[in-house]
Amino acid sequence: MEDEQLHFSRRKPAKCPACGSLRVARIVYGFPGPEMMQDAESGRIALGGCCVSDFDPAWQCLECKASIYPEKLKGQLPPDLGTF
């Protein structure tokens, strides 16, 4: 995580703070069923996996894969975030 800049937002950003892409999707966590898979394939959502923590990003850029965290987590993320 040391080379990666963390990005925060109060709500879903209109564009990616890392690359400027307009393709930013909400991350959905849990085991994906057929409908969730279709939504991910179409770019309506990004899949976040089944393991959930208190420090998960809420949005992801579909172009550069940058993670965007809720602003309420600013200053609370653990230093070893990249090892989850």
Query: What distance in Å separates the CA atoms of residue 84 and residue 80, rounded to the nearest whole number?
Result: 8
pLDDT higher than 70, residue 2: no
Whole-model pTM: value is 0.84
| DSSP-derived pairing of the beta strands 67-70 and 59-61 | antiparallel
Q: Mean of the pLDDT values across residues 50-78? A: 93
Mean pLDDT of 44-67: 95
For residue 3, the model assigns a pLDDT of 41
